[in-house]
Amino acid sequence: MLAGVDRPALAATIPTRTRPAILLDVGASVECRPQHLLQFAVMGSVYARVGLGIETPRVGLLSIGEEETKGNELTREAHRLLKAAPLNFAGNIEARHVYSGDADVIVCDGFTGNVALKISEGLVEVVEGLLKEELSSTVTMRVGSLLTRRALRRFRRRVDYSEYGGAPLLGVAGVTIVGHGRSSAKAVRNAIAMAYRFADNRFIERVQREIAAAAVSAGACGPSEAPEGSPAQPGRRASGSGGGAPRP
């Protein structure tokens, strides 16, 4: 792990109405503490700048309401840390706004992120299937599908994971891109291109600098809980890995 990073985060690139965004963690660390979400936000912000070209990424915290008092103990304390951190924090974001473009980096624990990602994948597959059924149901619809083929192709590209290659595993001491088990040649090519871009822009060094700055801001907020490496709090246990790499 990088110095100052306690947990890795798997970062998936997702489509929105405006431009691609980053959802993390999506399965690397299924149980998290507030400072882990702060670290995820910092690493995701660097990824947004290096990988997506977003100069000042907006960070959103996935929760059940926009008010900072909404959510559970984890999200409320994480909100406090993110608000004080040197980030462009936009506040809480509800699940229904994940794809709206209101945030460029959406932060959550790995369990929540993996569930959200898998639901989205399933929904896309169902919508595509239903659309194909309807467009082939009658002669008129088949003619209509020919007229809209270009638009449908553009839509497919916007939701195609292979356009981004894979999901970076952030927080480890090296550039690591996790590909889907069904990755095509195009996805592998784009994953290699992403890894090169990370290395060329000194991604690891930039993460370490910003993690150090965020740690200073978190310390100024006061301790939120026992530091990593100390005895676990009652009822808590170390996080594990998600079951298989999700599709980015």
Whether residue 93 is predicted with pLDDT greater than 50 in this model: the reply is yes
Angle formed by the axes of helices 203-221 and 73-84, to 10°?
A: 100
Residue 78 binned pLDDT confidence (cut-offs 50, 70, 90): very high
What local confidence, expressed as pLDDT, does residue 35 receive? 96
For residues 39-68, b (16+ Cβ closer than 10 Å) or e, as one string? bbbbbbbbbbbbbbebeebbbbbbbeeeeb
Q: Read off the tokens for 26.
A: 């999506």
What local confidence, expressed as pLDDT, does residue 228 receive? 56
What's the mean pLDDT in 106-131?
Answer: 89
Residue 131 binned pLDDT confidence (cut-offs 50, 70, 90): confident
Which superfamily does CATH assign the domain made up of 9-220 to? Isopropylmalate Dehydrogenase (3.40.718.10)
What's the mean pLDDT in 112-141?
Answer: 84
- In DSSP terms, 168 is beta-bridged to 177
119-128, 155-164, 192-201, 237-246: which has the highest mean pLDDT? 192-201
Percentage of residues in the chain having pLDDT higher than 90? 58
What local confidence, expressed as pLDDT, does residue 170 receive? 97
- DSSP-derived 3-state class of residue 30: coil
What's the pTM value of the predicted model, to 2 decimals?
0.82
Residue 105 binned pLDDT confidence (cut-offs 50, 70, 90): very high
**Residues 81, 38 contacting (CB under 8 angstroms):** yes
pLDDT digits (tens, 9 = 90+) for 29-60: 999 999 999 999 999 999 999 999 999 999 99
What's the mean pLDDT in 122-151?
Answer: 79
Task: Strand 167-170: give its sheet, edge to edge.
Answer: 9-10, 167-170, 177-178
What local confidence, expressed as pLDDT, does residue 8 receive? 97
What local confidence, expressed as pLDDT, does residue 23 receive? 97
Residue 248 binned pLDDT confidence (cut-offs 50, 70, 90): very low
What's the mean pLDDT in 60-69?
Answer: 94
Percentage of residues in the chain having pLDDT higher than 70? 87
Average pLDDT value over all residues in the chain = 85
What's the mean pLDDT in 233-244?
Answer: 40
Helix (H) or strand (E) holding 45: helix 34-52
pLDDT digits (tens, 9 = 90+) for 194-209: 999 999 999 999 999 9
Residue type, 145: S
Per domain, the residue ranges of the chain are: 9-220
What's the mean pLDDT in 142-171?
Answer: 78
Q: What are phi and psi of 106, to 5 degrees?
A: -110, 120
**Residues 164, 171 contacting (CB under 8 angstroms):** no
What local confidence, expressed as pLDDT, does residue 6 receive? 96
What local confidence, expressed as pLDDT, does residue 225 receive? 52
